[in-house]
Amino acid sequence: MKSQMEIILEHARNICLALPEAMEHIDGFGHTTFQVNGKSFVRLSERTGLSFKSDLETQEWLLQKEQFLKTPYIGRHGWVSIQSPSDEDWAELKELIQEAYLHAAPKRLVKEWIKLHKVN
């Protein structure tokens, strides 16, 4: 039986590593992070679960939902955490992680992403 963190990591890997030039990295605190161009956009830890970068507006909106919390220490920069995502949370989390990636990605990758995902 997989632990909650193993399940979160599996979902996060599937979403993050499908993004152009995204890499998995273990940071100095032993947390699994996902980065693009050396910038983190997702972080996993036992204490906060899944954390991701967002803008302050999105963060404020998410914090009104009971499952989300402001990430300790880096929350002032827009980071949001979810401790134990349910199966129903993953569709929304996929979109939020993709947005987090776009916040961290260099302009050329953002342009490429927009071009590939343009709705006709």
| pLDDT tens profile 76-94 | 999 999 999 998 999 999 9
Instruction: Label residue 71 exposed, middle or buried (CB < 10 Å: 0-12, 13-18, 19+).
Output: buried
What H or E segment, with its residue span, contains residue 6? helix 4-16
d(CA 23, CA 20): 9
Q: What is the mean pLDDT of the chain?
A: 93
Task: Provide the pLDDT for residue 120.
Answer: 45
Question: ∠ at Cα 42 (29, 30), nearest 5°?
Answer: 15
- According to the model, what pLDDT value does residue 115 have? 85
Q: What percent of the chain has pLDDT over 90?
A: 81
Q: What are phi and psi of 118, to 5 degrees?
A: -65, 135
Specify the pLDDT at position 1.
85
How sure is the predictor about 29, in pLDDT bands with cuts at 50, 70 and 90? confident
Are 68 and 55 a contacting pair, CB within 8 Å? Answer: no
